[in-house]
Amino acid sequence: MTSEVLTRQSVTPELALDGLDSVLGLHIGTTNTLFVSRLERQLEPLSVTPKQVAILWLVHANPGVKQTDLSRFFKIERPTVHQFVRQLMRNGYLVNEPSKLDRRAGGLWITESGQITLAEARRVIVAHEDELTACLTVREKSELFRILMKVYLSAPSKEV
């Protein structure tokens, strides 16, 4: 009745790890790289990156949304959001219509070309995620979501 424990060491058995494999950040980082690098390749024909798709996704679901709102949602800085938005506008996937109520703010709208790209990208993402999580049970998958969310949302705010 031995239960196999998968370890990182199985990749390179000759290396001593000295506890490095008990660093959670390492596992999150390498798993993230796994997801991102594979997805980037699969999205390449659509001329969008994973993060650009996420932005496109939210603009589609929230027509007229402001960059500041996207910045708050992703917890990234406004110039960082702007970089994605700029590239999406260059590619004709988004347009910026200045707000009439507050002329500082712009409202972002998805174009028809953006909608087509988003629809295709969503299919790619679903297939990609299904492939990478095929090894997990339904319960494991939902636990992974729940625990990651718990860590993410309970993180002390940045300035502390």
Residues touching a second copy: how many (CB under 8 A)?
71
Residues, the chain, total?
A: 160
Q: Which does 79 bind (CB under 5 to 8 A by kind): DNA, a second copy, none?
A: DNA
Half-sphere exposure of 51 (CA within 13 A, CB side): 16
CB 9 within 8 A of CB 17: yes
- Distance in angstroms between the alpha carbons of the first and the last residue of the chain: 47
Q: Give dist(CA 134, CA 83) in Å, integer.
A: 34
Q: Tell me if 85 contacts DNA by CB under 7 A.
A: yes
Pick one of 90, 104, 139, 146: the residue that binds DNA (CB under 7 A).
104
Pick one of 42, 87, 111, 133: the residue that binds a second copy (CB under 8 A).
133
Query: Which of 37, 123, 49, 42 lies closest to 86 in space, CA to CA?
Result: 49
Q: Which stretch binds a second copy (CB under 8 A): 91-99, 100-108, 109-117, 129-137?
A: 129-137
Query: Which of 116, 111, 75, 69 lies closest to 94 in space, CA to CA?
Result: 111
Residues touching DNA: how many (CB under 7 A)?
31
Binding mask 47-86 for a second copy (x = CB under 8 A): ---xx--x--xx-xxx--x---x--xxxxx----------
Q: Tell me if 157 contacts a second copy by CB under 8 A.
A: no
Q: Please report, as ranges, the residues that interact with DNA according to CB under 7 A.
A: 29-30, 33, 36-37, 40, 49-52, 66-68, 74-80, 82-86, 96, 102-106
